[in-house]
Structure 1
Amino acid sequence: MIQNQHLFHIPVMGTGHSIDTPIRIAHLGINSVVSVVDDMLCEKIRQHYSSVHNIAYQNIPKSAADGRAERITAYLNLMADIVGQKFDELKKMSLLEGTEKDRYFRLLPESNPLRKSYDKIASLTNQAVRQNLIKEITGKMTLGSIDVNIMAKVDALKMGDDGQPLSSEYSDASSALRGYANSKLSSSLVLSAGFNPRLYSYLSEFKDFYRDKTGDIKKKIILKVSDFRSALIQGKFLAKKGLEVAEFRIESGLNCGGHAFASDGYLLPVLLNEFREKRNQLKETFQPMIQSFYESQGWEYPELSEEETTPKITVQGGIGNNGEMRRLLEEYGMDATGWGSPFLLVPEATCVDELTSKVLANAAEKDLYLSNVSPLGVPFNNVRGTGSEKYTRELVEKGKPGSKCPKGFLVSNTEFTEEPICTASAEYQLLKINSIQESDISDEEKENQKNRVMDKTCLCTNLGTGSMIRLGIMKPSYGRQAICPGPNIAWFNREYSLDEMVDHIYGRRESLVPKERPHMFAKELTMYVDYINELAILADPEDAEWKKLLRMKKNLDAGMELCMEIAKGSSYEGENLHSLQSTVEEQKLRLAEIFNLVPSEA
């Protein structure tokens, strides 16, 4: 099973921005995550890379009975073949001659045993000893894992040609899971965006998610979670079926890219503290259930070390420099970190078109915001000035708002129709606007509501457009490119080489971000207060929604106390702890104003 040679991974970014990241960097030992939400996009990217690498290509038509799963399997297999070939060629290269093989080792953190052995080789004068060590470290090289993300709740049921609903295994998420399970990959499945019991149960039908006689799991499970309770509940559900969670991936509720799933005001330091204190509880809870399941099936559960059966804990969301990463690894005991948005400005690693790359490089903090554009009704991290924003505005100005909904991955609304439709579709928006127009509310409120309806964007198509433009599959004039960076991107202001970004992560060069960049914990706190402020404007103090806001405030108060303790402690090199202290002071006052408290009560 592939192990992460690095202290970071590149998370999934949109449907298209990390879709070919493994082809770009997996041979260099870096783990990354691809999205398979859009199987038609996967098919187009497969056709492109088949041509580039002179590999025979046969189209899998949209009409194929199990087409979604087959397209996903075919694309993942192609990636596995390309990455495997690049890695084999890399291992055959000479060492200490400035080759890509040297680059593989130089990118590794200094703490990695392979990097230490590589550094030692240059000082060896005995050629026999030198060659033996080269052979030894070459044999220990591993390629980066081609991990696959499935948004568990994006799981529309499909209709057959006869107009009748197909069985649940043909739903979007289940088909994607089958596509991954049937692939040749030995990697991890990253499940995100909520708990889907039907999908989780379906995992048990594929043997690759269980241990073989040697103790290896060909396809591991990673759960992206918002808190410890969620990790425990989901992990227990899987453990009862003998399924092990290899890693729990904690993500900041708001300070991240893509969809933002806000917690009840639990700040990242609070969540990390709980995982640090209770992480042994995970193994102690799950392991007896797992072994009991194996016994019930008549399977032998292999003898394994403590390390092999203990879930890893990683974290991502807004990390911006080496000092912040060191705090997460050393103080909170995280096993690794996820760095997403900064890699959107690394063309060697991600698939972003030229226009969008310029938008990101020029984006200031004011240009990055939590938007209302997602049809899922979940806040969506966005940047102003994208092709998608311009195209959506043009449709509104022409009096033709909404999309034709060519893909339908985010259909969920049944307000006006029997069958679910997408809130970004022209069909829904016209129906909703008419409904608003006929309602008994003020003209001002009608305009506000209509604008919110017309904000919705076709993410299914637009999040993949930039990758197709970048690869030359689609002309730049098509436009419509959407992208979903976290606010951290504001502090990265140009394109970077892969080596520059990795050296920045490991603190091996002058920081790529200025000293005044706010601490990641400070930015998250500000975003939560912004979020509460927006909800408070719409909430009535007599409603249940107001009680929820009070609960969020209480949790934020506890989080701010912890942040202040951190701010008054010792900093890791590059950490802006001064910004953390000043931010806590500022946000306490803001919360007091929102809830009309006197300063002594804040």
Structure 2
Amino acid sequence: MNNNHSFHIPVMGIGFTIDTPLKVAKYGIDSVISLVDDILLEKLRKMYSEKFEIPYKEITDKIEDFRAKRITSYLNLIGDLAERNFETLKNVSVEKSEDIKAYINMLPNGSSLKSEFKKITENGFNLSEIKNWANKNLTLGHIDVNIMTKVDKDNYIKNVKLPVEYNDAHAALRGFANSKLKSSVILSAGMNPRLYAYMSQFEDFYPNEAGHFNKKIILKVSDYRSAIIQGKFLAKKGLWVSEYRIESGLNCGGHAFATDGYLLGPVLQEFKEKREELRESIQEILNQELKNQGRIVSQNPLSLKISAQGGVGTDEEHEFLLEHYQLDSIGWGTPFLLVPEATTVDEKTLQQLVEAKEDDLYLSDISPLGVPFNNLKGNTKDLEKEAFIDKGRPGSSCPKKFVSLNKEFKETGICTASREYQYLKIKELDDKQLSPEAYQESLNKITEKTCTCVGLGTSTLLAYNLDTKVEGKGVSICPGPNMAYYSKIMSLKNMTDHIYGRDNMITRTDRPNMFIKELHIYIDFLKNKLEEVKKDMNKKEEKYLLTFTNNMKEGLLYYQELFTSIKNAFEDIKEAVLNELEKSRITLQNIGLEIENLSPIPVVN
């Protein structure tokens, strides 16, 4: 994270931000590349090498450690090209000054760089002075990477299992660690102790005497407890978490890792109050471990940043989060899917996003990971899935196997969206002699899974007219609920102006405040969970639902106090927000009573 901008572009899908740094890093904007699909990364490395006339040698899957090597090579290429673009931007000439002006114009209004640039150019363009100033003051946006820690498939050669360091997430980590990038790895989707222990083998993750790192660790979390558990675990390995990136459990794009009813506002408040305690307690553990390992112990307090993302949609929300919760950066994801100058989305999908309304965006069960997944109705990957079902051949051919994690039928693992898995599950289902209704319900649960590990990357191939023979043309897309309020394709300047309040890209007037939107999504989630267990709820499920409801009630009370007391923010919507909170309070009260009135069935161990 740099000091130029107060926002970053999070990872989106597998391919949507795969080359975002090449588009935005030269303007000082931080962004994140997904490392799930090394096959896609290799295709793009070939494309960019040819485009920029750089020698290219294919890294085939016959080469030892090909996954890690593909990732290293791609990241090095993107890093080199982004650096080249940035040097060109700073090397101002009479003919080439548009990029540096764009860099300056996109900065926040109060930026000191903006006022300095204005000062040195008010009497005309002194090229050598501007070049010197640019070299001293402008910075390249960070090229960060994302690893989904649980997408860590075992790998085999001729049915012989390879050592754990060849697992997918381990190889991705090694690919990043061996790259030239000086940036961060974002670890998402929960804790993977083996992967965390493996990180300690790479020198770049350790601090020097001044407390600086070549490569940093960012943890994506949805509550404080998760942050402190994972932070301490890593510290015991000698590893420091430089940033905790708090994401709304449900009001986000992609996979939605719902909390137990903990809402974003109260979670951010807890981080604000305990930030120094978090830093001190974890650095104490870290320093002791570094001493035990005979490593350098920084004499300075290590830097710890807190950022947030999920559902932010207006400059007022952006500023409020930064100031009220003292955050370092805000993630803006979903709206950037409509910015071709920043993300890579094929034309057809782009048009579907432009036209999407609330009813088109929903939390689905299509992900083979078994985690709720934000989905767009009518996406071409789901249409492809339905066509296979209609032909009596449900499931994907599973060409990439990145999510072949289910070991029900095979020790090597199968993906639950694959034809092989669904065939075996349906065969199993046929032997159960269920009623037609129960059979259909179970069948739908099997066949609703979509091959997202392919679908979330295909858009990139279509956008660049690359071969899709293996993947097919079906596209999965995972926007957050916020997409409903953006209805036009935007330039990068449009979007940065929107973030900083210089323009407004939302034409609708009925967009709810981000906290209210999240609250409504959580209430719907709770209602659905209750509906699922109503007929035969057991004690464990009752406890979960009551805990969830009570946590939400506490969060709602926090919001009532917040919106009653805050000054100079949300003045025009305060009354409407408080009315919505009161309605939600009554709804939650009724849900709580309904749970208590159901008779739970004892859990049989």
Report the TM-score range of the alignment, normalised by the length of the smaller protein. over 0.9
Match of 1:422 in 2: 415
Match of 2:515 in 1: 521
- Counterpart among 518, 531, 545 of residue 525 in structure 2: 531
- Rounded to whole Å, the distance in 2 between the matches of 1:284 and 1:95 is 51
- Counterpart among 133, 136, 146 of residue 136 in structure 1: 133
- Counterpart among 162, 181, 192 of residue 166 in structure 1: 162
- Rounded to whole Å, the distance in 2 between the matches of 1:268 and 1:480 is 34
More deviation, 199-208/435-444? 435-444
- Rounded to whole Å, the distance in 2 between the matches of 1:63 and 1:418 is 23
- Deviation, structure 1 residue 55: 0.9
Provide Cα deviations, 1:540-588, integer angstroms capped at 9, x if missing partner.
Answer: 3434112201110000001111122233344536974444323323323
Match of 1:148 in 2: 145
- Rounded to whole Å, the distance in 2 between the matches of 1:415 and 1:97 is 60
Q: Letter of the 2:532 partner, please give it.
A: L
Q: Letter of the 1:212 partner, please give it.
A: N
Q: Given the alignment of the two structures, is residue 484 of structure 1 paired with residue 478 of structure 2, yes or no?
A: yes
Cα distance change of structure 1 residues 432 and 586 upon mapping to structure 2, 3 Å threshold: farther
- Rounded to whole Å, the distance in 1 between the matches of 2:6 and 2:176 is 25
Q: Judge conservation of contact 2:261–2:551 (CA < 8 Å) in 1.
A: yes
- Rounded to whole Å, the distance in 2 between the matches of 1:42 and 1:574 is 47
- Rounded to whole Å, the distance in 1 between the matches of 2:488 and 2:207 is 45
- Counterpart among 198, 212, 219 of residue 216 in structure 1: 212
Match of 2:262 in 1: 266
Q: Map 1:162-241 to 2 at 5 A.
A: 163-213=159-209, 215-241=211-237
Structure 2 length-normalised TM:
0.94
More deviation, 18-27/574-583? 574-583
Provide Cα deviations, 1:221-278, integer angstroms capped at 9, x if missing partner.
Answer: 1000111111111111111222111100000000001000000000001101100100
- Rounded to whole Å, the distance in 2 between the matches of 1:56 and 1:413 is 40
- Deviation, structure 1 residue 359: 0.7
- Deviation, structure 1 residue 156: 1.0
Q: Judge conservation of contact 2:90–2:131 (CA < 8 Å) in 1.
A: no
Match of 1:32 in 2: 31
Match of 1:393 in 2: 386
Cα distance change of structure 1 residues 433 and 110 upon mapping to structure 2, 3 Å threshold: same
Cα distance change of structure 1 residues 95 and 553 upon mapping to structure 2, 3 Å threshold: farther
Cα distance change of structure 1 residues 513 and 204 upon mapping to structure 2, 3 Å threshold: farther
Task: Give the aligned CA root-mean-square deviation in angstroms.
Answer: 2.2
- Rounded to whole Å, the distance in 2 between the matches of 1:284 and 1:567 is 32
Match of 1:374 in 2: 367
Cα distance change of structure 1 residues 280 and 447 upon mapping to structure 2, 3 Å threshold: same
- Deviation, structure 1 residue 4: 4.4
Q: Letter of the 1:448 partner, please give it.
A: E
Match of 1:508 in 2: 502
- Rounded to whole Å, the distance in 2 between the matches of 1:352 and 1:328 is 29
Cα distance change of structure 1 residues 200 and 433 upon mapping to structure 2, 3 Å threshold: same
Q: Map 1:238-317 to 2 at 5 A.
A: 238-304=234-300, 306=301, 309-317=302-310
Percent same amino acid among aligned pairs? 45
Match of 2:464 in 1: 471
- Rounded to whole Å, the distance in 1 between the matches of 2:96 and 2:157 is 58
Match of 2:553 in 1: 557
Q: Given the alignment of the two structures, is residue 546 of structure 1 paired with residue 539 of structure 2, yes or no?
A: no
Q: Letter of the 1:368 partner, please give it.
A: L
Q: Map 1:92-131 to 2 at 5 A.
A: 92-94=91-93, 99-124=98-123
Q: Given the alignment of the two structures, is residue 402 of structure 1 paired with residue 423 of structure 2, yes or no?
A: no
Q: Letter of the 1:102 partner, please give it.
A: K
Cα distance change of structure 1 residues 591 and 294 upon mapping to structure 2, 3 Å threshold: closer
- Rounded to whole Å, the distance in 2 between the matches of 1:532 and 1:18 is 32
- Deviation, structure 1 residue 124: 4.7
- Counterpart among 425, 439, 442 of residue 446 in structure 1: 439
Q: Judge conservation of contact 1:519–1:575 (CA < 8 Å) in 2.
A: no
- Rounded to whole Å, the distance in 2 between the matches of 1:122 and 1:577 is 43
- Rounded to whole Å, the distance in 2 between the matches of 1:17 and 1:575 is 35
SS in 2 for 1:447: helix
Q: Judge conservation of contact 2:221–2:245 (CA < 8 Å) in 1.
A: yes
- Rounded to whole Å, the distance in 1 between the matches of 2:59 and 2:117 is 45
- Rounded to whole Å, the distance in 2 between the matches of 1:418 and 1:68 is 21
Q: Judge conservation of contact 1:517–1:576 (CA < 8 Å) in 2.
A: no
- Deviation, structure 1 residue 290: 2.3
Q: Given the alignment of the two structures, is residue 320 of structure 1 paired with residue 303 of structure 2, yes or no?
A: no
- Rounded to whole Å, the distance in 1 between the matches of 2:268 and 2:325 is 6
- Rounded to whole Å, the distance in 1 between the matches of 2:481 and 2:547 is 25
More deviation, 441-450/505-514? 505-514
Q: Judge conservation of contact 2:208–2:296 (CA < 8 Å) in 1.
A: no
SS in 2 for 1:403: coil
Q: Judge conservation of contact 1:321–1:511 (CA < 8 Å) in 2.
A: no
Cα distance change of structure 1 residues 513 and 582 upon mapping to structure 2, 3 Å threshold: farther
- Rounded to whole Å, the distance in 2 between the matches of 1:597 and 1:458 is 37
- Rounded to whole Å, the distance in 1 between the matches of 2:355 and 2:271 is 37
- Deviation, structure 1 residue 164: 1.8
- Rounded to whole Å, the distance in 2 between the matches of 1:367 and 1:387 is 14
Q: Judge conservation of contact 2:314–2:498 (CA < 8 Å) in 1.
A: yes
Q: Judge conservation of contact 2:108–2:500 (CA < 8 Å) in 1.
A: yes
Structure 1 length-normalised TM:
0.94
Cα distance change of structure 1 residues 242 and 116 upon mapping to structure 2, 3 Å threshold: farther
Cα distance change of structure 1 residues 266 and 513 upon mapping to structure 2, 3 Å threshold: farther
SS in 1 for 2:156: coil
Match of 2:2 in 1: 3
- Deviation, structure 1 residue 298: 3.1
Q: Judge conservation of contact 1:326–1:572 (CA < 8 Å) in 2.
A: no
Cα distance change of structure 1 residues 597 and 394 upon mapping to structure 2, 3 Å threshold: closer
Q: Given the alignment of the two structures, is residue 12 of structure 1 paired with residue 6 of structure 2, yes or no?
A: no
Cα distance change of structure 1 residues 291 and 593 upon mapping to structure 2, 3 Å threshold: closer
Q: Judge conservation of contact 1:27–1:90 (CA < 8 Å) in 2.
A: yes
- Rounded to whole Å, the distance in 1 between the matches of 2:571 and 2:362 is 25
- Rounded to whole Å, the distance in 2 between the matches of 1:41 and 1:575 is 47
- Rounded to whole Å, the distance in 2 between the matches of 1:335 and 1:478 is 41
Q: Give the aligned length.
A: 592
Q: Letter of the 1:183 partner, please give it.
A: S
Provide Cα deviations, 1:187-223, integer angstroms capped at 9, x if missing partner.
Answer: 1000000011110111111111112355421111100
- Deviation, structure 1 residue 408: 1.2
Q: Judge conservation of contact 1:273–1:332 (CA < 8 Å) in 2.
A: yes
Q: Letter of the 1:113 partner, please give it.
A: S
Provide Cα deviations, 1:439-490, integer angstroms capped at 9, x if missing partner.
Answer: 2432112111211211101111111000110011146994300111100011
Match of 2:450 in 1: 457
